[in-house]
Amino acid sequence: GNSVTQMEGPVTLSEEAFLTINCTYTATGYPSLFWYVQYPGEGLQLLLKATKADDKGSNKGFEATYRKETTSFHLEKGSVQVSDSAVYFCALNRNYGGSQGNLIFGKGTKLSVKP
Amino acid sequence: DSGVTQTPKHLITATGQRVTLRCSPRSGDLSVYWYQQSLDQGLQFLIQYYNGEERAKGNILERFSAQQFPDLHSELNLSSLELGDSALYFCASSAGQGLDSPLHFGNGTRLTVT
């Protein structure tokens, strides 16, 4: 079946460090891939997405490339800030019927950035 | 602020009881989704409604039911509650159903079953 595996946290970095959060997936067909972010006490927010192989999603300095050959969608940011501290979720949706709602999420990776 | 409102924020109840969680979607959004977030299962999709009709079903237990009303707000009903139902329940909304309609999540209702 469809599943998402992301690296377990917590991840603790110093401000301006380079961030990578690994995400791999298993899916039939051609899924769309997403990264969502959850700040403390809030709901999830869409950070970026990619809908086909080799697409690069980017937003707020974060980026991720849809790699079909390695079934991966790793999240990267060149220089993290304290305000990036949050839980990051990788997710997929099969392109079946187009509904984005039936998202399959990874377990989440908590990122803490120290000044 | 996502524009999605969930009430109540916290709910504490006993096993065997029934509760109703309420969600008001963003103005103009026709789709409403319910998700359950627990420590052991992570985030799981429960059910989706679009303009009052059920459109997709995920891992929703038979003890749980939902509906979307004509004014587009939605309610999730949880009955015969068990300790394992303790979780954070999120509602999300989107304008349409396609991939170009991002989901906007509320801040969740934390349910504690004692």
Residue matched to tokens 């051609």: A30
Which of the four pLDDT bands, split at 50, 70 and 90, describes residue A81? very high
pLDDT value of residue B46? 93
- β-bridge mates for residue B26, sequence order: none
Q: Is residue A6 predicted with pLDDT exceeding 90?
A: yes
Q: What percent of chain A has pLDDT over 90?
A: 72
Kindly determine whether residue A102 and residue B56, on different chains, have CB atoms separated by under 8 Å: yes
Nearest CA in chain B to A93: B99
Nearest CA in chain A to B4: A43
pLDDT value of residue B103? 87
pLDDT value of residue A97? 52
Residues 6 or more apart whose Cβ sits within 8 Å of residue B112: B10, B11, B12, B13, B86
Nearest CA in chain B to A100: B99
Residues 6 or more apart whose Cβ sits within 8 Å of residue B83: B15, B113, B114
Residues A23-69 have pLDDT tens digits of: 999 988 778 899 999 998 888 999 999 988 999 999 999 999 999 99
Residue B23 has which token pair? 């969600």
Residues A82-95 have pLDDT tens digits of: 999 999 999 998 65
Asked if B25 is an interface residue toward chain A (Cβ–Cβ < 8 A), one would say no
pLDDT value of residue A22? 97
- Residues of B with Cβ-Cβ distance to A42 under 8 angstroms: 107
Write out residues 52-111 of A within 8 Å (CB-CB) of B.
89, 93, 95, 97-108
Q: Is residue A1 predicted with pLDDT exceeding 80?
A: no
Alpha-carbon distance B81 to nearest alpha carbon in chain A (angstroms): 24
pLDDT value of residue A100? 57
pLDDT value of residue A96? 52
Phi and psi at A61, nearest 5°, equal 90, -10
Per-residue pLDDT of chain B (114 residues; tens, 9 = 90+): 789 999 999 999 999 999 999 999 999 999 999 999 998 888 898 999 999 999 888 889 999 999 999 999 999 999 999 999 999 999 999 987 766 678 899 999 999 999
pLDDT value of residue A99? 56
- β-bridge mates for residue A87, sequence order: A38, A110
